[in-house]
Amino acid sequence: MIELSDNTTRHPVRLLTIDSGNAGQRIDNFLITALKGVPRSLVYRLLRTGQVRVNKGRIKQTYRLQLDDIVRIPPVTVPVEGEQQPLSKGLCDAISQSILYEDDDLMVVNKPAGIAVHGGSGIANGVIEIMRAIRPQEREIELVHRLDRQTSGCLLLAKNRPVLLALHELLRENLIDKRYYALVQGYWKEDQRTIDFPLLKGRAESGSRTVRVSRDGQASTTLFSVERHFAHKMTLVEAKPLTGRMHQIRVHAAHAGHPILGDERYGQRRLNRELKKQGLKRQFLHAHRLTFMLPATKKKISVSAPLSPDLVRFLASLEV
């Protein structure tokens, strides 16, 4: 018999009936919320192995819940509330001070590079776990979208389920204007260019997730506009993704012959090593602006995130 440690608890089988608040949500996202504290990798394993059932049947992770569905959640061991791995005060302060905009329904934070948006795969805590720890009164706070760990900038969070659903609908309809700054390799000739190549997810030999251009992939479109050319054969561009695929901007830029500088997965390793010596320690990709309007309030929200000091310093060094 395996004994549980003092700081864990084992939940029994749960049967949950889906109400109007959760109808339309993907089953994987529903489980991540229902099983707070459980690694995402375990959530997906439960789905793959059929331990999670909907109406007594197996479902895929992309299944969208319907009103009155009955979801069976198997016994799962999770940390006891209040006894999770403690967070450093410095990290909590950094996230708390990164809030760019907040109202009763949502907030936008300027996510630092190097911090994941959520825990999992060896990462104890991400932005969402930290925000829940420093804002325990915000019981329903959730990520609206995601940013890569090494990407900084505007990250949108919803404080309640109705607003989360409304923002997801805006994303599906391409009504959230997301803009990124990227410093890319080479001289980008066109002032504006649309990259429209389908993207397919896969796995590298190491097991990490990767993305490539493929006819079998999902339709993906990114608009690139040149902001400035540098004499060092580098170009600062603004990228506007019209679809929300994983690693989309990074793969589209690389496929166009202009990989993002500092990108360890899709960039040039030798050049990146040289750039580290010059002060660029991570990929130069920053979500600098979000603009949208919630239908319920008709209030236009536009939030900008300034470049982090390390990126500002690197750009300044190129002007010398």
* Strand, helix or coil for residue 182: strand
Cα–Cα distance measured from residue 286 to residue 227, given in angstroms and rounded to the nearest whole number: 14
**Of the candidates 184, 197, 179, the residue with the CA atom closest to the CA atom of residue 263:** 184
Residue 178: CB partners within 8 Å, gap ≥ 6?
A: 154, 240, 241, 287, 289, 290
- What string of DSSP letters covers 186-219? S----SEEEEE--EEEEE-TTS-EEEEE-TTSB-
Q: E strands, the chain, where?
A: 8-11, 14-17, 53-54, 57-58, 70-73, 76-79, 99-102, 106-111, 142-143, 152-158, 177-185, 192-196, 199-203, 209-213, 221-230, 234-241, 285-293, 300-304
CB 245 within 8 A of CB 199: yes
**Which position among 69, 148, 196, 216 bears the catalytic label?**
148
Chain-centroid distance of CA 13 in Å reads: 30
- For residue 173, what is the DSSP state? T
- Amino acid identity of 197? F
- What string of DSSP letters covers 125-142? --HHHHHHHH-TT-TT-E
- Is 177 annotated in the active site? no
Question: Which residues are catalytic, by number?
Answer: 148
